[in-house]
Amino acid sequence: MNNITKLKTELDKINSTATLEQPLAKYTTWRIGGPAEIFFQANTIDELSRAVEKANEFQIPYTILGWGSNVLISDKGIRGLVIKNASKEIEIKGKSETNLPTANEIEARLNAIDTEQYYNFDDLDFDESHFPTIELTVASGVYLPYLINVTIDQGITGLQWFAGIPGTVGGAVYNNIHGGTRFFSEVVQSVYVLTEKGEFKTLQKSELDFDYDYSIFHKNKDVILSVNLILREGDKERARNTSIAWATRKKLQPANSAGCCFQNIEKPVQSDLKLESNSWGYIIDKVLGLKGKQIGNAKISDKHAAFIETQPGASSNDVLGLFELIYEESKNKLGITPKTEIFFLGFEQSEVQKFINSSSQ
Ligand SMILES: Cc1cc2nc3c(=O)[nH]c(=O)nc-3n(C[C@H](O)[C@H](O)[C@H](O)COP(=O)(O)OP(=O)(O)OC[C@H]3O[C@@H](n4cnc5c(N)ncnc54)[C@H](O)[C@@H]3O)c2cc1C
């Protein structure tokens, strides 16, 4: 028996979801990507940690997949174990004395970066800091839109800014998602992880290096198991109305995408190049004239040019082709290249390295 077969035997003892050569396209919002050498769906925090421990025992590399809304998976697929994180536990722990500091430095950086000009958030933003705080522990696999509804139903607010973002709580921490001008790190108190060394550990927010589209998890292979959130016993109806309004505005964005693919350029670069905006949506549309351009079954969205949308039959090679086109046109016309804000899974470093680095940040 090879190690993959041994691992499957062990995973079968946890639950019956382990399969070999499982196509991964249906686990991503782009609906593309080849197979996982071995696939497992973890339905609880315990199943998630046990699967990772078994992979380590048999020295099989592992990859965690949340909702798959921020990843490009290679057409060749992913070697080793892919764990679809569907852990679901939500525990409302009760009142808390903790008052989390807001992410002032990150906010400053976000404001220096022109956010979506397409979506106005100002009228939806409001201060909740005077409301009492309440602590929750949430499994990393919980689907964020579901958590937003469940908490608001119970009079718990603070997540309404993230309405319309299709992802898990683990994915939200991993990339410190932002809704309007709010960052997910503003509601995170601590994170419970299984480290790459196999230790279970609670990491406080101050240890997580949160930044714009960044957390410490970009630098290690720790698995986020659960997250302690500090929310508010706030104005339920206002929070609900905000979440509905924000999700409705975000519906303009194509769902068969991975969100915005490129990080905005820094202001000094914008000013040197005398560009009206520093968003790649603007650059790709107005400067490079590539909006609507199609390769295979992938297309630079007509709705928002920093989004790439796919049609049935698309491959990750089609998306890479569009990245290449944008990269080359931008290098030739502007002398800068974009930095992607999605995660590449299953690729050789050499295939994608140039899209990860950037000359404009
Ligand atoms: C239509 C649309 C709109 C979007 N709007 C926004 C927006 O407004 N703001 C924003 O910030 N983003 C947005 N996104 C991007 C995306 O939805 C978020 O980044 C989301 O939080 C990703 O979560 P996920 O569970 O899908 O992560 P995945 O895409 O599954 O994974 C992303 C990365 O996180 C890692 N990861 C996931 N879970 C764990 C875990 N438990 N432990 C360790 N590593 C983990 C994965 O290995 C991978 O490297 C949008 C995407 C779409 C398709």
Q: Is the CB–ligand 1 distance for residue 301 below 6 Å?
A: no
Does ligand 1 have an atom closer than 6 angstroms to the CB of 140?
yes
Catalytic residue among 260, 261, 309, 329: 260
Q: Is the pLDDT of residue 20 over 70?
A: yes
pLDDT for 214:
93
Q: Do domains 3-85 and 90-250 have the same CATH topology?
A: no
Identify which of 208, 224, 225 has the alpha carbon closest to the alpha carbon of residue 216: 208
Residue among 92, 85, 19 at smallest CA distance from 46: 85
User: Whole-prediction pTM value?
Assistant: 0.96
Please give the residue that has the higher pLDDT: either 56 or 116: 56
Checking if the pLDDT of 336 tops 80, the result is yes
233 is catalytic: no
Give mean pLDDT, residues 236-244.
Answer: 96
CA of 65 to the centre of ligand 1 (A): 9
Residue with the larger pLDDT of the pair 240 and 103:
240
Q: Which positions ≥6 away from 33 have C-beta within 8 Å? A: 23, 24, 25, 27, 71, 72, 73, 74, 75, 77, 78, 316, 345, 346
CATH topology for the 267-356 domain: 3.90.78
Q: Mean pLDDT, to the nearest integer, of 266-275?
A: 92
Please compute the mean of the pLDDT values over residues 33-56 and round it to a whole number.
Answer: 98
In this predicted model, what pLDDT tens digit does every residue of 178-193 receive, in sequence order? 998 899 999 999 999 9
Percent of the chain with pLDDT over 90: 82
* Cβ atoms 218, 164 nearer than 8 A: no
By alpha-carbon position, which residue is closest to atom 49 of ligand 1?
Answer: 343
Label the pairing between strands 298-300 and 308-310: antiparallel
Buried-exposed string 161-183: b where 16+ CB fall within 10 A, e elsewhere: bbbbbbbbbbbbbbbbbbbbbbb
What pLDDT digit, counting tens, does each position of 281-331 carry?
999 999 999 999 999 999 999 999 999 999 999 999 999 999 999 999 999
The CATH code for residues 90-250 is: 3.30.465.10
The per-residue pLDDT for 103 is 63
Contact call for residues 156 and 92 (beta carbons, < 8 A)? yes
The contacts found for 280-283 with CB under 8 angstroms, 24 or more apart, are 280/305, 280/306, 280/326, 280/338, 281/116, 281/117, 281/118, 281/305, 281/306, 281/307, 282/117, 283/330, 283/334
Collapsing DSSP states into helix, strand and coil, what is residue 61?
A: coil
Q: Are 342 and 71 in contact (CB under 8 A)?
A: yes
3-state secondary structure of 238: helix
Structural tokens at position 1: 């028996």
**308 CA distance to ligand 1 middle (Å):** 15
What fold characterizes domain 3-85? 3.30.43
* Mutation probe of ligand 1 site: the residue of 110, 138, 174 with most atoms within 8 A of C-beta: 174
Average pLDDT over all residues of the chain? 93
Which residues, in sequence order, are bridge partners of residue 139?
226
Q: Which residues contact 354 (CB under 8 A, 6 or more apart)?
A: 327, 337
**Ligand 1 touching residue 175 (CB < 6 A):** yes
Mean pLDDT value of segment 26-35: 98
Nearest to 198 by CA among 71, 96, 314, 52: 52
CA of 69 to the centre of ligand 1 (A): 5
Q: Which of 299, 294, 318, 341 is nearest to 32 (CA)?
A: 318
Q: How confident is the model at residue 337 (pLDDT cuts 50, 70, 90)?
A: very high
- Rounded to the nearest angstrom, the distance between the alpha carbon of 70 and the centre of ligand 1 is 4
Strands 182-183 and 71-73, sheet pairing: unpaired
Please state the domain extents for the chain: 3-85, 90-250, 267-356
3-state SS, 109-128, equals: HHHHCCCCCCCCCHHHCCCC
Give pLDDT tens digits for 122-176. 888 899 999 999 999 999 999 999 999 999 999 999 999 999 999 999 999 999 9
Instruction: Give tens-digit pLDDT for 78-130.
Output: 999 999 999 999 999 988 877 776 666 677 666 666 555 556 778 888 999 99
